[in-house]
Amino acid sequence: MTDLLNQPSNSQFKFSREKILAFTLILPSLILVFITYLYPAIFTFVISFAEYDIIRLKIKKFIQFKNFEFLISNYFFTSSVLRTIYFGFLICVCTTILSFLIALLLNEKFIGKAFLRVMIVLPWAVPSVVSGVLWGQMFHADTGFLNALLYQLGVISGYKIWLADPLVALHVIAIAEIWKAIPFMTLFFLSGLQSLPSEVFEAAAVDGANVFQRFSNILFPLMLPIAIPLFLIQFVLAMKSFDTIFVLTRGGPGGGTTTLNYFIYQEAFETFNLGRASAAAYVLLIITLAVVLIPTISRFLIKFFWGNK
C-alpha cells in the first residue's frame, strides 16, 4: 500500500488510482472481518496463556503453558479430542459416499427428478436446532418412530432409551449431521458429474468395459479431484458441529458425546474458564489446520520425491 502512495510519475498515477478505488470498495468488508475475526483470534491467543477474570473482564495473570498442560493431563479433554476426530471422520466418510451415490442417481434421467432434487436439497435449509428436535423425536424412548417400528417388526423386545447410551447417542448425532450435510455435497458432486465429458464413457462402453470397470477406471479417478476437497471441508465442518449436540444430548451422557467444540463451549460459558477454553480453541484450530494441510503437504512431498505426476 505504501509504495503506491509514493509514486509520483503521471503514467503510474492512473494505475494506482484504480488500486486505491479497488481497495476502497473492499475496505468496509475487510474492516468488519478484522474486527470480528482477526482481533478476536489474537485476543483468544493471548488469554490462552493467562488466567482470565470473568467478573472484572481483565487478565488476572499470565501463567505460560499452564492451561495447555492442564488440558493435556485432563481425561475429558483428551477423550473429546479423539472423539472429535472419530466423529468428523465418520460423518465425512458417510456423507461423501451417500452424496456421491445420490448424485449418480440424479445424473440419470427419470420422471420426478426435479421433485426429488428439491426434496434432497431441503434438509440443508433445516435449522440444525430443528434437525436436533426432529431426530430427537425419531429416537425418542416413548414416542419415537424407531422404537415403534423395531418393536412391531419384533427386532427389539422392549422400548429402548437410545440416547442414554453414550456410543449410540454419538451415532444418533452423527446421523443427524449426515442427513443435514448430504444436500450440499450432492449438489457439488452432481455439478462435477455433469461437467464430465460423456464421450469417454461412450467410448469405454463401445470398447466393452462393464459398469464396474467404467466406475473404477474412469469415473472414480475423474471425480477424485472434486471429492477430496469436499471430503476435507466436510471433515472441518463436522468438527465444528455444536447445535445438534446441544439440543440432543448436551454433551452427555457422562460426557460421551462431548466433542472438542462442545468442550470449549462448556469451559467458556458454563464454568467460565476463558483461559482454558481459549487454549482448547487453539487446539481445535490446530487440528482443523492439520486436516486441511496434511493432504496439501503430502501432495507436495509426493511431487518432490516422485517428480511430476
Partner 1 sequence: MKKNLILKNFFIYFSALIVFLIMFFPLYGLILTSIQPENIIRSRNLSFFPTEIIFTHFAEVLKPNHISNIYEGIKNSLIVSFLTSFLCIILAFPASYSLARLNLPAKNIILGTLISIYFLPTILFVIPLFVILVSYQLDDTILSLVVPYTAFTLPFVIWILKSFIDKLPVEVEEAAKIDGCSTLQLLIHIIFPLLRPGLIAAFIFAFILSWVEFLTPLIFTNNLKISTVALGLFRSTIDIKIGQQAAAAIITLIPVTILMIFFQQYITKVVLSGSDK
Q: Of the candidates 5, 22, 72, 200, which one interacts with partner 1 according to CB under 8 A?
A: 22
148 contacts partner 1 (rule: CB under 8 A): yes
State which of positions 175-204 bind partner 1 (CB under 8 A): 179, 182, 184, 187-188, 191-192, 194-195
Taking the complex as a whole, the smallest distance from the CB of residue 267 to partner 1 amounts, in Å, to 9
**Distance (Å, whole) CA 23 – CA 17:** 10
**CB neighbour class for 186 (10 Å; exposed up to 12, middle 13-18, buried from 19):** buried
- Size, binding site for partner 1 by CB under 8 A: 96
**Distance (Å, whole) CA 6 – CA 203:** 61
The H-assigned helical ranges of 74-157 are: 75-106, 113-125, 128-138, 145-153
Dihedral of alpha carbons 264, 269, 270, 271, sign: positive
Q: Of the candidates 5, 119, 156, 228, which one interacts with partner 1 according to CB under 8 A?
A: 119
Instruction: Kindly state the cell numbers that stand for 129.
Output: 436446532
288 contacts partner 1 (rule: CB under 8 A): yes
Q: Of the candidates 37, 62, 220, 300, which one interacts with partner 1 according to CB under 8 A?
A: 37
For residue 253, say if its preceding peptide bond is cis, omega within 30 degrees of 0: yes
212 contacts partner 1 (rule: CB under 8 A): no
13 contacts partner 1 (rule: CB under 8 A): no
Which one, of 244, 234, 229, 249, lies nearest residue 293 by Cα? 229
Q: Of the candidates 63, 129, 156, 228, which one interacts with partner 1 according to CB under 8 A?
A: 129
Q: Which element (helix H / strand E) includes 42?
A: helix 39-47
224 contacts partner 1 (rule: CB under 8 A): no
240 contacts partner 1 (rule: CB under 8 A): yes
Residue 62: strand pairing partners: 50
State which of positions 63-102 bind partner 1 (CB under 8 A): 101-102
Q: Of the candidates 9, 64, 73, 108, which one interacts with partner 1 according to CB under 8 A?
A: 108
Q: Of the candidates 50, 94, 172, 226, which one interacts with partner 1 according to CB under 8 A?
A: 226
Q: Cβ distance 128 to 244 under 8 Å?
A: yes
What lies within 8 Å, CB to CB, of 254 at 6+ separation is 166
36 contacts partner 1 (rule: CB under 8 A): yes
Q: Of the candidates 7, 19, 60, 141, which one interacts with partner 1 according to CB under 8 A?
A: 19
236 contacts partner 1 (rule: CB under 8 A): yes
134 contacts partner 1 (rule: CB under 8 A): yes
Residue 130: count of CB within 10 angstroms of its CB: 14
User: Which of 76, 151 has the CB closer to partner 1?
Assistant: 151
